[in-house]
Structure formats: C-alpha cells, structure tokens
Structure 1
Amino acid sequence: MTVVLGAIADDFTGATDVAVAFRRGGLRTVLFFGVPPEGEVTPPHDAIVIALKSRAIPAAEAVSTSLRALRWLRNRKAEQIYFKYCSTFDSTPRGNIGPVLDALSQALSPARVLTTPSSPEHGRTQYQGHLFVGDALLAESPMHDHPTTPMTDSHLPRLLREQTTTPVALVTHDILRRGETAVREAIDSKSGYVLVDALTEEDLRLLGRIAADSPLVAGAAGLAAGLAAAHASMTPPLTDTSPPSGPAAVLSGSCSARTLEQVAVMKRLGRPAHRLDPVATPDPEALAAGALAWYDSLTEPGPLVYSSSSPADLRRTQQELGVSRAAAILEKATGLIAVGLVERGVRRLVAAGGETSGAVVTALDVRGGVIGTEAAPGVPWIHPVEDRRPALLLKSGNFGDPDLLATASGS
C-alpha cells in the first residue's frame, strides 16, 4: 500500500494534531507512537504519522530517532515526508527543529524546504517572518515562560538560523497577495529553508498546492492540512468512526494557561479532582497509589487527576526537586495511574499535555491507532490498534475551549 504522506512529529500531542489535519483533509490516517517494527500490520490508510518524543531531548538523539522514523516511512514507499514541529516553534538555539531539518534534508535532498508554523485555526500566524499567538507576538505570549523551551524571540528566520548553517529565506505576505504564480516563483528562487508567511487557511491551501510534489515539507498542522487537501482528490473517501463510550477519566499535567482554565472549569462543575503533589510525595509509586486509592473511593463519574499548576507553583516545585527529578516523578506516577485506571474499567482516557500524553501512551503500551472524530479542533479520539486499550484523547496544552476536558469526559 502506497503512503501518500508520511509525517514525523516531535511530540505526541502534536502528532495527533497533524493526524487529524490529514484526516480532515480526506486522508485515511493511522498514528503510531514511536517507530513501529518493520513487520507492523496497518489498517487501510493514505497517511501515516509517527509520533516521537524528540522536541526537548538532546539534538543528537532527536536526529537519530527522526532518521529511524524516516527509514521506516521510506520502506513503506512514502511519497512525501512532513516534519511536524509545534505551531509555537518550541525550540532553543541548540535545536531541535534545525538539526532534525538538516538531517532529513541531507537524506532526501530537496531543492528547498517550504515551512511555516502558521495554524490560524489555533491562533498561530506568521507575518513578516514574525510568529503571532493570537494578537500577541510569540515572545509576549505565555510561551515566554515555557518550562523547557521558553520563547523569547518572535522572529522565525532569526530563531531558525541559530539552529542551522543551512540558508534560511523568507517569503512575505505581500507576495502571497499577488497569487499562486508569484508565490511559486518567489519560493523557487530560494534555497535552503523557506519560511513563508500565512495568515489564513486559504494561504495554507495555496502553499499545500505548491509543496505537493516536494519530497520534504515542514511545519505545524496548518500546512499539513493544506497538503492533505492537495492530495485528497486521489484517495478513497473516508468512512466515519463513532465517538467512544464508557467510563472516562482525565489526567492533566500541562501547565499552559488554557489547560489551567480547563482544570478550573472541571472543578467549578463539581467534578472529583485529585492533585498530584510530588514535593509532598516524591516517590512516584506512592504518589500513584494515593491517586488510585482516591479513585476507588469515588461514586461520581469523570474524575480529574492533575499536576497542572501556575508558573509560580511550578517554579517552586522545580526549585525544591530540580527540573528533571520533578518531571521524572510525575511522568512515572502518571503512567502508573493510567494503567491502574484502565485496570479499573476506564474506557476513555483524556490526557492534557505532551509529557502527560507520552507517559500515558508509553505506560499503556499503545503502539498506534486509527484517527477518529474530533472532540475539539486538532484533538481527535484515537482508537488503538490493540484490543483492550481505551480510546485516547491526547490534548496539546494550549488547545481546546475552556470546557473541553469536562465535555470529553462527560457521559
């Protein structure tokens, strides 16, 4: 079976975002967590997304695992590779966007790589080379305080040049206003990595048509949707999948402003809520055992187990335990809690945050799944390929309306 599009995503929630962009564009899409074994049997598909946890690891490791994913996709005859990074360009001067782009480019030898993090549906737009989050420049948004990739600059060419020796060019929005021919000519005149402004979904569909024949494209879910639209006319129609049912629970570890709002809504609605405190209980097994004992005492449905906290509280936790130790405790505890919840009959599991989602998927040993209906834009239900696994909703920290966690885990 030919793979029209093969995507390599740098985190789990970002992978679900790009997978649903492909599906919404009309492509049957399968998502794998990690690089599958060579003999992996896949359901019928047009696109495959491989979710990695490579965003914040050392650059050399990110390159190595991304190249393994590339080899797997090329062995499946993937016609086009999409490197999916975050729509807020999460990275540092050490990477990992630049180093991974360099490695993929060396392997695929494209004449140039069209890229943009623009995703208007999620409030991310690129204009004059600057990235905006809603009405705010990236460096003036909550991403300025991100615990692992604080974004203190908004100018994308400058950010990318810090991470690579490959030339970085810019095509600004005034060129897009002149039409497709002018944009093609502008892009074709560049080499290396070509960042292109995009403000609307129509801009991204135009860029998708232009990039449809390129061996390598990079960006967020917005450009992925544009590519899917360009390819969808050549693929079979989708068959829909029903939303999942059964007992639900929410695990939240993201400290983004939107997730904190979603946690507050669940509490305000009277949902049972249990806070994980790694300072008070630094043993992850004891932390998980306490949460599961609390769950066993409940009579109300749709509970929330969370470690999400304000930036000030997060800093205090990290100062007390150290950044790495605090993250490791919560990741281990979250995985143990996920396993315990499934053993207790949970059939729908909502995870808020990239690290939380990764911990859940790893602990449950979910290899992959078919992309189903969306609970919110860019947040699909995933139906695992393995039996006896719960349906998963993996939510990127900043995604969804304030009531998303409550509605997704409702009856």
Structure 2
Amino acid sequence: MSENNLLLAFYGDDFTGSTDAMEALASNGYRTILFLEPPSPEMLENFKGIQCIGVPGTSRAKNPEEMEQELRPVFEALFKLRTNVIHYKTCSTFDSNPDVGSIGKAIEIALDYTEESQKTVPLFVAAPPLGRYTVFGNHFAKMYDTVYRLDRHPTMSKHPMTPMNESDLRVHLNKQFQIPKQIGLMDVVELSGAYHNVKEVYEQKLESNDGILLLDALDDIHSQTVGRLIWEKGQEGLRFVVGSSGVEYALTAEWNRQGLQATRNNNGQTKIPAANQVLVVAGSCSPITKLQIETASEEGFVGIQVSPQDIINKEELPKNLLEKAIKHIQNGKSVILYTAQGPEDPAIDETRRLFDEMGIEKRESGELIGSQLGKWTLEIIKATNIRRIIAAGGDTSGFVTKELKLFALEMILQVDPGVPLCCGYSSDPIMNGIEIALKGGQMGSPDFFVKIKEA
C-alpha cells in the first residue's frame, strides 16, 4: 500500500462510468470518493480513511483538442500521488472514435506522465459482473438476457455520437492514434491455468510489446487473474492502465485475496429512508431509458417532455416547463424531465435540425443538453427542496452534476449494478447532502427509477 494509504486513483471519461467504478470499489469495502476536480492534499485530509479516489470527467464527449485541455492537469495531479495504480476509466462498451472521446488520444496524453520504465499500457475492458466480455480481442455486451457482439448490440451499434461498428477492440482503438501502435493480446487461453505460467506469459508480452496489451476475460476467474497481474506490476512501476470498471472489479478481487484492510464492514450500504419523491432528468435516448420512463410512468411518475426549442434557448429559463415540474413535486409527485423516448422519437431529428441551423456541432450537443438540464434541475431543487435526483445519460450526468456545484460524490447505496445512489458534497448548504444517482443510457433495470425512489 502507498504511504498515504491510496490504493488506486482513476479518471472516468464520463460521470456515470465513474460512479460505476466507485461502486465496484465501495461495495467491496474500500472507501472511495469522487472529486469533481483533482483534490488538494488539504481536501484529502477532510475525508479520513480514503483508500481510492476518482475524478469524473467529460472527455468521452470532447474532441481531441478539448481532451488535451481537460486531461493534462488531471494526469499531472494523479501521477504525483503515491498510489500503485492510475486508471483511465472508459465505458465498458468502449464508446469512442477518433473525433469524439478518443481513447487513443487519452493514452497519448497520459504517456507524457508515465514512468520511463512503462513501455506498455495494459488495456482491460471486460467486466463480467456487468455482462461485458472480451474473447480473442472481440468485445461482447449483455442487454437484458442476451449477449451481443459489440457491433451488433441494439444500443451501441446505433449510438448517436459514437456508434460501435467494430467489435475487435484492437482495430477500433488503433484508428484513434495519430501513429498506429502495436496492440498485443493476451487471450482467454493464455490467461487460464497455473498463475506462475500465466504471469510468465504476461511478462514476456510486456517485454516484447511497445504499445498496448489487451487482456481478455470471459469470467470472474480470468478477471481475478488480471487483477493480480496489474497489481503486482503496478508495484514495480507499471502504474498506468486503461479500461472499464472491470479494472476495479479485478483489483478488489486481488486486494481481498491479499487481505488488505478495508475501511468498511457494511459493503458500502447505509440505511437511509425512502425519498417518496424523486426528480429524474434524462438526456438519454437509449431504448433502456425509454423503458425506464415508461415503467416509472405506470407507477405514478409524471413525465414531462422537454421541447427542442427549450433546449436551444440558453438565454431564458423555460418558465412554463419549470412551473409545471415544480407544481407536480409540491403536490407530492415524482417527475421525469426527458428529451426523448427512445432512439425513434421524432424530437431527436427536430433537435438535430435546430442544432444544425444554429451551427452547433454534433459533438457539442451532449454538453448543451446536459448543461440546460442541470440549470433547470438546480432551479427545481431551490424551489421545492427535493433531495433525491436521477440523471440519465452519460454525458447528461456529467454536465448536470457540474451545474449543481457539487465538489465530491460518495456511494451510499447499491441499487442496480453500476448505478449506485450517491451522496453529493457541496459548499452550498442547499446542495450539500443531496442524494443523486447517475445512470448511463444502457444501465439499470426497467424499474430503476422506481427502485431509487423506494430505496
């Protein structure tokens, strides 16, 4: 363990993915705080017993130039920490392309800060607990009861910003480097068997590879093996790793195997009263979010669709929309503000048309939608003092959280895999202690909104 007791520091390329990584750590008993900016030593002192920290960001929605501006100060701060592993956390469906959320660009930036001894970057995207698998370099993702190859996934193959049309992660990633890199593979066969044999193969591949090494995983045993490999090499200076929250699941398995002392004995669960009311703001157009809206509406939630005109009007608050939401909350109802119901909603085309007319690029749409929803959420909270919020959509969650002026998040309750309920910390007394769940578009069960209300 490092001198300041930090086992791991990570940056998440979106907010929902960052809470997913936090859940993987906290549910195993390792106290984890997400700081919206890299924390100073003084800030860390205010949170006793931290073993892991994360910095959630929005690089998944940015172009390469914007990623430079966001990531360099974060990497500079994280690499100064005395911690064994530094993780660039990606989505478990590897959402990215050369122009938006380039994981290749993030790796190129990080290599300016890694130790000279680190020639190769381990890449681990599989997360079996979340239904994400990598087999012979090809990635698969579960949706409901079916596992799909990534390029045939009903949601990810049609993602509005980063459609995944390639399942081989090596091919997909190599398109994102200015100069193609050597991307090796340690497959499920090589990861199976006696650990000393697996480790020997791993070290040989690290030595012969001067670029990226992708690691497969089909089950928890493969994941545990990967966690041991990453942890042991991290203590030797190979600290930087890229991948999904599968990295956190893998590392906690190794830490638990070693018996590293955890700060909590309740697996991150805290007894909290049911909220009776929640406010949902949804910028996601995924079919899963659509089903969650429909299920919640059947259970008495009031759905209010945001018009495209309200989204593009940055000068004025949508008074009628806010008054309607506030009135329903004051009357005891839970409210959902949503931009679209699923990928076929006509509002999507209308919003894109208006964005085109205003010269707003496609990659900027997520920030505008999320920021607007965040501003409206803040107004509703001030008017009603509602204390439990759900933000649906990876990009939406990041920009909503920033507008709420929170400086840190901590998991207080597991609900569905990868989407915990969190406590928000703020210097603003109105916002301090707010309960918030950040949900990626393809995450959560159909009754997720109802579960959060009744948790």
> TM-score normalised to the size of structure 2?
0.84
What corresponds to 1:381 in structure 2?
A: 421
Counterpart of 1:83, as a letter, is Y
CA distance in 2, matches of 1:244, 1:78: 36
- Aligned match for 2:322, one of 288, 292, 298: 292
Deviation at 1:287, TM superposition (A): 5.7
| Identity fraction in percent | 26
Counterpart of 2:448, as a letter, is L
Closer, same or farther in 2 for the Cα pair 1:234/1:59, shift >3 Å? same
Q: Structure 1: where are the runs of 5+ without partners?
A: none
Bigger drift between 261-270 and 81-90 goes to 261-270
Counterpart of 1:275, as a letter, is Q
Q: State the aligned residue count.
A: 411
Deviation at 1:307, TM superposition (A): 1.1
Bigger drift between 368-377 and 241-250 goes to 241-250
What corresponds to 2:71 in structure 1?
A: 66
Structure 1 residue 43 corresponds to structure 2 residue 47 = yes
Deviations 1:260-284 (A, max 9, x none): 1111111222311111011477424
Deviation at 1:107, TM superposition (A): 1.6
Deviation at 1:39, TM superposition (A): 4.0
CA distance in 1, matches of 2:351, 2:85: 43
Contact kept in structure 1, 2:37 and 2:407, CA below 8 Å: yes
CA distance in 1, matches of 2:298, 2:314: 28
- Aligned match for 1:136, one of 125, 137, 148: 148
For 1:257-272, list aligned pairs within 5 A: 257-272=287-302
Structure 1 residue 105 corresponds to structure 2 residue 115 = no
CA distance in 2, matches of 1:346, 1:171: 49
CA distance in 1, matches of 2:77, 2:279: 34
SS at match of 1:310: coil
- Aligned match for 1:124, one of 110, 128, 132: 132
CA distance in 1, matches of 2:311, 2:243: 40
Deviation at 1:30, TM superposition (A): 0.5
What corresponds to 2:280 in structure 1?
A: 250
Bigger drift between 356-365 and 63-72 goes to 63-72
Contact kept in structure 1, 2:79 and 2:114, CA below 8 Å: no
Contact kept in structure 2, 1:122 and 1:399, CA below 8 Å: no
Counterpart of 2:129, as a letter, is E
Contact kept in structure 2, 1:28 and 1:238, CA below 8 Å: yes
Bigger drift between 107-116 and 346-355 goes to 107-116
Structure 1 residue 349 corresponds to structure 2 residue 389 = yes
Contact kept in structure 1, 2:84 and 2:231, CA below 8 Å: no
Deviation at 1:119, TM superposition (A): 1.4
Contact kept in structure 1, 2:38 and 2:78, CA below 8 Å: no
Bigger drift between 24-33 and 55-64 goes to 55-64
CA distance in 2, matches of 1:225, 1:358: 23
For 1:191-230, list aligned pairs within 5 A: 191=209, 192-213=211-232, 214=234, 215-230=239-254
Structure 1 residue 162 corresponds to structure 2 residue 162 = no
CA distance in 2, matches of 1:293, 1:223: 44
Bigger drift between 369-378 and 47-56 goes to 369-378
Counterpart of 1:25, as a letter, is N
Contact kept in structure 1, 2:61 and 2:395, CA below 8 Å: no
What corresponds to 1:146 in structure 2?
A: 159
Bigger drift between 284-293 and 214-223 goes to 284-293
CA distance in 1, matches of 2:72, 2:255: 24
Closer, same or farther in 2 for the Cα pair 1:324/1:106, shift >3 Å? closer
CA distance in 2, matches of 1:171, 1:327: 35
Contact kept in structure 1, 2:289 and 2:342, CA below 8 Å: no
Closer, same or farther in 2 for the Cα pair 1:235/1:65, shift >3 Å? farther
> TM-score normalised to the size of structure 1?
0.93
Q: Structure 2: where are the runs of 5+ without partners?
A: 357-361
Deviation at 1:157, TM superposition (A): 0.9
What corresponds to 1:321 in structure 2?
A: 355
What corresponds to 1:29 in structure 2?
A: 32
Bigger drift between 146-155 and 222-231 goes to 222-231
CA distance in 1, matches of 2:317, 2:241: 42
Counterpart of 1:398, as a letter, is Q
Closer, same or farther in 2 for the Cα pair 1:78/1:56, shift >3 Å? same
Closer, same or farther in 2 for the Cα pair 1:2/1:68, shift >3 Å? farther
Deviation at 1:328, TM superposition (A): 5.2
What corresponds to 1:85 in structure 2?
A: 90
CA distance in 2, matches of 1:219, 1:20: 16
SS at match of 2:171: helix
What corresponds to 2:260 in structure 1?
A: 234
Closer, same or farther in 2 for the Cα pair 1:124/1:310, shift >3 Å? same
CA distance in 1, matches of 2:380, 2:141: 35
Deviation at 1:25, TM superposition (A): 2.8
RMSD, aligned CA: 2.2
CA distance in 2, matches of 1:87, 1:185: 27
Contact kept in structure 1, 2:370 and 2:399, CA below 8 Å: yes
Contact kept in structure 2, 1:353 and 1:396, CA below 8 Å: yes
Closer, same or farther in 2 for the Cα pair 1:150/1:229, shift >3 Å? same
Deviation at 1:358, TM superposition (A): 1.5
Deviations 1:236-278 (A, max 9, x none): 3315433464442111111112111111111222311111011
Closer, same or farther in 2 for the Cα pair 1:210/1:146, shift >3 Å? same
Deviation at 1:182, TM superposition (A): 3.1
What corresponds to 1:404 in structure 2?
A: 448
Contact kept in structure 1, 2:393 and 2:439, CA below 8 Å: yes
Counterpart of 2:271, as a letter, is S
Counterpart of 2:24, as a letter, is A
